[in-house]
Structure 1
Amino acid sequence: MDDYPFLSIFWTMFVFFAWIIWLIILFRVFADIFRSHDLGGWGKAGWTLLVIVLPFLGVLVYLLARGGGMADREMERERRVALQTYTRHLAAERAESPPSNHADALATLVDLKNRHEITEEEYQRAKEQVLAA
């Protein structure tokens, strides 16, 4: 233990965890680049090339230029997944139970809309699905 002082251990741990955080940010940026619907193919290719060629600068510029929308795009993706999950659950429940359950399904949809877990558009689409059955 005399060969490796405490501050060196601390510094090594700091560098290791900073590297892990860097990898997480890098993968989130790549995921956002390819999930983004408002970027065209050339835009995605350009951002990807910048992040690969100049990783630190590319990620920093990406976060400054498009970082504010990353959370919005992630929330929108989570809403779509939640709506799909709910719709599948509702369809499975409808297949097992009699059609008199429409009122409960509509009440649940209204509750989801009031808690801002689904948008107005998602609410209308799910409501049409419930009423169509």
Structure 2
Amino acid sequence: MDDYPLLNLFWTMLWFFIWIMWLFLLFKVITDIFRSHDMNGWAKAGWLILALILPFLGVLLYVIFRGKSMGQRDMDAAQEREAAFRSYVRDAAGQPEGSASGSHVAELARLAELKDNGSLTPEEFDKAKAKLLT
């Protein structure tokens, strides 16, 4: 280890980190090529060949020419995932309208709100809750 100074170790780690980041970017570009709906098959094939044959130049050119639309596609996909997640949570947490347990939840929430603002005493809240749950 005496012939490999600490500064060389840092340089090696830096280059390794840059190489790993470039690999991530390469995979991101390749997935974006296939995900892009505004390109036809020949354009996708051309970008893919360029990214695979001349990887550094191909990735750099793709990011330069299509980076903005690549970011927009990422934002659109994230918004779609967020909307799907919110829809799933609403469907999983709530009952279909008109069901008995859905109305019980709404009634309990209304009773808790009345208790919180002082319209109901804790005893009245407990009685109403017990009546509702039986």
Q: TM-score, normalised by structure 1?
A: 0.68
Provide the C-alpha distance between the structure 1 equivalents of 2:71 and 2:3, rounded to a whole number of angstroms.
45
Aligned to 1:75: 75
Aligned to 2:17: 17
Is 1:55 matched up with 2:55? yes
Query: Which of 97, 103, 113 is residue 102 of structure 2 equivalent to?
Result: 97
Provide the C-alpha distance between the structure 2 equivalents of 1:18 and 1:53, rounded to a whole number of angstroms.
20
Counterpart AA for 1:75? M
Q: TM-score, normalised by structure 2?
A: 0.68
Deviation at 1:77, TM superposition (A): 0.3
Deviation at 1:90, TM superposition (A): 2.0
Is 1:2 matched up with 2:31? no
Aligned to 2:39: 39
Deviation at 1:25, TM superposition (A): 0.8
Gaps of 5+ in 2: 107-134
1:97 aligned counterpart, secondary structure: helix
Aligned to 2:109: none
Is 1:29 matched up with 2:26? no
Gaps of 5+ in 1: 102-133
**Any idea what the Cα deviations from partners look like across 1:87-129, whole Å, max 9, x if unmatched?**
222223233624x97xxxxxxxxxxxxxxxxxxxxxxxxxxxx
Aligned to 1:108: none
**Any idea what the Cα deviations from partners look like across 1:7-65, whole Å, max 9, x if unmatched?**
21122111111111111111111111111111122211111111001000100110110
Larger radius of gyration: 2
Greater RCO, 1 or 2 (C-alpha within 8 Å, sep 6+):
1
- Number of equivalenced pairs: 100
Provide the C-alpha distance between the structure 2 equivalents of 1:5 and 1:55, rounded to a whole number of angstroms.
32
Counterpart AA for 1:8? N
